[in-house]
Structure 1
Amino acid sequence: MNIGVVVDNEFDHDHRVQKEIRLLQDEGHTIFVLCFDFKNTYKTYPDLTVNRVRIHRKLRDLFVLLSTNFKFYERLWKNNITQFITNNNLDALHVHDLYLAKAAKKGIQKSTRNIPLTLDLHENYPAAINSYEWAVKGWRKYVVQPQKWYKKEGEYLNYADRVIVLSTSFKQNLLERFAFLKSESIYVHPNMPDFESFQTFEKNDYDVEFDSKLPTLFYFGVVAKRRGIMDILPWMIELLEEGNQFHTLIIGPTDKADKTLFQSYIDHPILKDHLTYIPWADVKYLPAYLKKITIGLAPFQVNAQHDSGVANKLFQYMYGEIPILATKCKAQQELIESAECGLLYETKEEFKTELKRLIANPNLRQKLGENGKKKLLELYENRADREFLEIYRE
């Protein structure tokens, strides 16, 4: 089957999408990708056809800013999707993220090819956009009007023949809110890492320069208020002031709106000697970092967006047999409690108590880490990340 995959990014660093494509190729499908070209240098893929829409990043960002009430972004994608379907003789279209659903459906109609549309939800988008600083602060909130996406959600879901979600709890949430959705049309695909790729990374024995003699806390991912990392940094300062000894390693890009605040923590007279920040690292180095880590952090703010699925960092910590300290977002709480692979907190005092408990108890850390790896292997054995393949077998 010729399957067209559409993502509104540069594709090269979208590991979830790349993993899905590899699994589809293993099933014998031929995959074509439609993504953006921001005039950078990109990888070549000998077993994959990648079609890129050339556009200046600032123009794309402007279209996104206006996309709630204006159709510039929708038309851009509709026209390119129509051509994408026709040129590659596609049998099915697999589109990532809610906001592309309407453009995808119109593109299919304009192509005159009656092919099925799969909508792959990476998050609860209405909740997500209402948490983005760029969308809810200052004059932008009047242009973006992010609250309108709560009303648009049902319309956009209805364009799809099949829907993919991150967790069972989010699937149930959608079924409760939208009567037209059918359970058999929604597939759960958790953000589990590409196990084969991680094993290859380890075999290559990549080395990293970071090392600390102190117990090390690790946060891997976007640095932003909405991710909760800004909430716990002041608590870490308190713990250091109280005489606790640990180091924190943070790897990931910082949201533009939060750079000033985050820099103030990096420069804090107490924290600066106990924190290492790396703006970006290729995922191939992640197994090497995990071998130097004591505790994995998942401090996401509890809201509808973060309740919708488990972030890939939790599965990455589990792969590295790292105990997890996390908030009680619904999906990640369910995973951590079922696997017995970490500790949970709701308040500052609970965070401090549980962190000190983990630092002081290496046997507990080892047990939680082993439980996490065991659970992850069970998920792979049960093919939890392959349910979506049934869409194309049908």
Structure 2
Amino acid sequence: MNIGVVVDNEFDHDHRVQKEIRLLQEDGHTIFVLCFDFKKTYKTYSDLKVKRVTIHRKFRDLFVLLSTNFGFYERLWQKHIAEFITENKLDALHVHDLYLAKAAKKGIQKSERNIPLTLDLHENYPAAINSYQWAIKGWRKHVVQPEKWYKKEGEYLNYADDLVVLSNSFKQDLMERFPFLKSDAIYVHPNMPDFDSFQAFEKNEFSVDFESEQPTLFYFGVVAKRRGIIDLLPWIIQLLENGNKFHTLIIGPIDKADKNQFYTYINHPLLKQHLTYIPWADVKYLPAYLKKITIGLAPFEINAQHDSGVANKLFQYMYGEIPILATKCKAQQELIETSACGLLYDTQEEFNTALKHLIENESLRQTLGANGKKKLLELYRNKADRAFLGIYDSKKY
């Protein structure tokens, strides 16, 4: 089949989308990609055709800001999607994220090709946008009006023929809230890393500029209050003040709205000595970092967004046989408890107790880490990350 994949980003660093495309190609499909061009230099791909919509990032951000109540963004995508379908004689369209569903459906109609639409949900978007600082603070909340997405969600889901979601718990939640959704049209695709790529990264033996003689806590991903990592920093300071000895390594870009608070914390005299912050590192270096750390952190705020799926960092920790210390978000709690690969906490006291227990007990760390790797390999053997391929295997053309 000729399958068109649509993402409203630059595509090159979207590892979930890239992995899905590789799996679709291995399954015999021809893939075409429609994405943005923010007037930068991008790599070329020998095995797929990538069409980029040139736009200044500031205009794109403005359109997103206005998209709840105005149709500029949807009309932009509708036009390009219709052309994309026609030019490539597509047999199916695979669109990422809830807010592109209406534009995709209208683009299909405009192309006059009656092709199926798969909607790939990377998150619980209504819950997510209602947690983003840029959308809920100051004058922007009156323009964005993020709460309206709770009302729009059902309409946008109904545009799709099939859905891809992050977890079984999110699938069940959607079916309970929207009875028109059918179980056999919702496919679970967890955020598992690309195993082949990670093995290739290890063979290249990348070196990283980080060393610590102390046990090291590790957080890899976007640094934001909604991700829980910023609220964890005062707890870490208190533990250091009380004489506990450990280091913290944080790698990832900071949400603009949270920069001042984050830098205020990491400029604390103790954190200056016991915390390393790296703004960005290519995922190819991750296996090398995993060899140098002791405990993986997953401190996400407990809300509907984070309940919708397991963040890829947990699977990355499991790949590296690293014990996980995490909050009790529904999907990640289920994964950690069923695989016995980490400890969970609700309160600061529980966090302190669990952290000390992990630091002081090397055999426990080894057991939890081994359990995590065992569970991850089991998921790969059971092809948990390939179930979504059935969307296209089952179609008759």
Q: Name the TM-score, length of structure 1 as normaliser.
A: 1.00
C-alpha distance in 1, partners of 2:48/2:251? 30
Q: Report the alpha carbon displacement of residue 206 of structure 1 after superposing the two structures with TM.
A: 0.7
Question: What letter is aligned with 2:310?
Answer: V
SS of the residue 1:114 aligns to:
coil
Gaps of 5+ in 2: none
SS of the residue 1:45 aligns to:
coil
* Structure 1 residue aligned with 2:114: 114
C-alpha distance in 1, partners of 2:362/2:45? 44
8 Å Cα contact 1:132-1:226 kept in structure 2: yes
* Structure 1 residue aligned with 2:174: 174
Q: Say whether residues 1:328 and 2:333 are aligned partners.
A: no
* Structure 1 residue aligned with 2:66: 66
SS of the residue 1:318 aligns to:
helix
C-alpha distance in 2, partners of 1:43/1:239? 45
SS of the residue 2:390 aligns to:
helix
Q: Report the alpha carbon displacement of residue 113 of structure 1 after superposing the two structures with TM.
A: 0.2
* Structure 2 residue aligned with 1:9: 9
Question: What letter is aligned with 2:241?
Answer: E
* Structure 1 residue aligned with 2:150: 150
* Structure 1 residue aligned with 2:102: 102
* Structure 1 residue aligned with 2:317: 317
Matched ranges for 1:15-30 at <5 A: 15-30=15-30
C-alpha distance in 2, partners of 1:266/1:111? 52
Q: Say whether residues 1:233 and 2:216 are aligned partners.
A: no
C-alpha distance in 2, partners of 1:363/1:339? 17
C-alpha distance in 1, partners of 2:103/2:384? 30
SS of the residue 1:302 aligns to:
coil
* Structure 2 residue aligned with 1:269: 269
C-alpha distance in 2, partners of 1:96/1:244? 44
Question: What letter is aligned with 1:279?
Answer: P
* Structure 2 residue aligned with 1:128: 128
C-alpha distance in 1, partners of 2:125/2:97? 8
C-alpha distance in 1, partners of 2:252/2:209? 16
* Structure 2 residue aligned with 1:247: 247
Deviations 1:308-353 (A, max 9, x none): 0000000000000000000000000000000000000000000011
C-alpha distance in 2, partners of 1:64/1:81? 17
Q: Report the alpha carbon displacement of residue 271 of structure 1 after superposing the two structures with TM.
A: 1.1
Q: Report the alpha carbon displacement of residue 248 of structure 1 after superposing the two structures with TM.
A: 0.4
8 Å Cα contact 1:307-1:330 kept in structure 2: yes
C-alpha distance in 1, partners of 2:265/2:18? 34
Deviations 1:356-383 (A, max 9, x none): 1000000000000000000000000000
Question: What letter is aligned with 2:198?
Answer: F
* Structure 2 residue aligned with 1:203: 203
C-alpha distance in 2, partners of 1:80/1:193? 30
* Structure 2 residue aligned with 1:282: 282
Gaps of 5+ in 1: none
Question: What letter is aligned with 2:11?
Answer: F
C-alpha distance in 1, partners of 2:173/2:266? 39
RMSD value over aligned CA atoms?
0.4
Find runs of 4+ consecutive structure 1 residues off by over 3 angstroms. none
Q: Report the alpha carbon displacement of residue 265 of structure 1 after superposing the two structures with TM.
A: 1.3
Identity fraction in percent: 81
Q: Report the alpha carbon displacement of residue 209 of structure 1 after superposing the two structures with TM.
A: 1.1
8 Å Cα contact 1:265-1:272 kept in structure 2: no
C-alpha distance in 2, partners of 1:210/1:35? 35
Q: Report the alpha carbon displacement of residue 272 of structure 1 after superposing the two structures with TM.
A: 1.1
Deviations 1:52-104 (A, max 9, x none): 00000000000000000000000000000000000011000000000000000
C-alpha distance in 2, partners of 1:368/1:97? 34
Question: What letter is aligned with 1:353?
Answer: T
SS of the residue 1:271 aligns to:
helix
Q: Report the alpha carbon displacement of residue 266 of structure 1 after superposing the two structures with TM.
A: 1.5
Question: What letter is aligned with 1:205?
Answer: E
